[in-house]
Amino acid sequence: MSSVSARRKCPELVFVSPRFDVYRAVSQQIRAIFARYTSLIQPLSLDEAYLDVTAPLVDRLDDCDCGRN
């Protein structure tokens, strides 16, 4: 919802100033965590991404006896 629509629906709405520098720093930390699991990362925004974790999952299944008995 746009801020204009939100203000119309809720006139007493208080907007808080963003801290983009902090947000960006935390986003980089999150992406570093993603990178520990896969190099196939498609960022969508500062806090969203698609990760292809197919290979790591297949590797884990190959390394265990999951259901082979």
In this prediction, residue 5 has a pLDDT band, given cuts at 50, 70 and 90, of very high
Where in the sequence numbering do the catalytic residues fall? Answer: 48
Count of residues making up the chain: 69
Number of domains in the chain: 1
Give counts: helices (H), strands (E), the chain.
Answer: 3, 2
Task: Indicate whether 12 belongs to any domain.
Answer: no
What is the CATH number for 55?
Answer: 3.30.70.270
Compute the distance between CA of residue 22 and CA of residue 42 in angstroms, rounded to an integer.
22
Task: Indicate whether 10 belongs to any domain.
Answer: no
Q: Is the pTM of this model over 0.75?
A: no
Task: Indicate whether 52 belongs to any domain.
Answer: yes
Q: In Å, what is the CA distance from 62 to each residue of 24, 30, 52, 56?
A: 37, 28, 18, 10
Task: Indicate whether 1 belongs to any domain.
Answer: no
Give residue 8's pLDDT. Answer: 96
pLDDT tens readout for residues 8-62: 999 999 999 999 999 999 999 999 999 988 889 999 987 789 999 887 666 666 6
Task: Indicate whether 58 belongs to any domain.
Answer: yes
What is the residue range of 25's domain? Answer: 18-69
